[in-house]
Structure 1
């Protein structure tokens, strides 16, 4: 029998390199438009733009979400088999599956548009989806407090870092982004600063959370192993 132990770095290091390359591609594309007059509708400019839903960055983020969903389901399955509490892990998997779908078809963008016109939001709340999503996040923080306190110190630290990065980008920077967009629109500064920071923070947040889930699975199984053979 061949026994292979997989470490978190096996997955996270390649993803980190990809994130860095995507950010570099986004910034180089903006530089090409600014400094060399390349048409902003250029295929490669758009496919590498962190703000384009149909670009490579979105595909990478969807893969990150799916990796997290897979890990959450594995943890829930292992805990259920060991007769431990697993429901909250399974619920997280469903939540992340919804967010994967959201990332794919931009549910929050349609929600933002409807709420913006209905509530006439402006300033920090211009992108109105932050209202319901922010409220749901607050409720989840309260509901998952006991769950969080039961995690190991190592996993807790990773969860906190992941939340600071992802929520700080998705909600925090989005609030500032909305205010700027309401005043100036999607200009080059918007893409250069706000989009670059927000999308990078989100990708890094998912990466850290994925790493935390690998660590959690290692703790649940006394190491993350793959076995081949009889």
Structure 2
């Protein structure tokens, strides 16, 4: 009987592995996961730096609008495409020691990990070195308190602050009158009796503003928007 010869390359391939070895599959999955995590961190960092940032409210100075432990979202887009307006709630870097001596940053691995996650936006910024207040006066405005009715006034117009002032608080217990320099902001906390603000420290440069708060996102039962309201709508531009 004559045996047929098998052309080169047509040998039986049944003995070759049909599937990727387990180790190879594991490395591929690990590689894909690392790429996804890296891209997610890059996107989160870009969002934090250029678009939005979460901040943790550490004090009672903005009650009842914002409470201790609230997580607020701050928009940085609005600073690039619009001006700051009276009534806006803004986060800004500490101008000249408004916060007083601050505790040193946490050392060790735990502190480094926390700082990393805050930087990329996974954790809310704990607000160290930053403050959050309501804008009362813009550059050129005259801010005074208080008139015969006990109200704060801007450019001679009394302001009804019932929509944001802490219940039971007066607009201010100490009288003041200040013309805000151009390019600066005059800010007050909504909890006037428990806020160190421009009444004591004066105005500060707009360049220190990080962004405008627009929503409380945590805890769930505190979900709400943060707005300027309409208390300042009728204030005229400074002469």
Measured against the shorter chain, the TM-score band is under 0.3
Whichever structure has more strand as a proportion of its residues is 2
Question: Relative contact order, CA 8 A, sep 6+: which one is greater?
Answer: 1
TM-score normalised by structure 2 residue count: 0.21
Q: Which has the larger radius of gyration?
A: 2
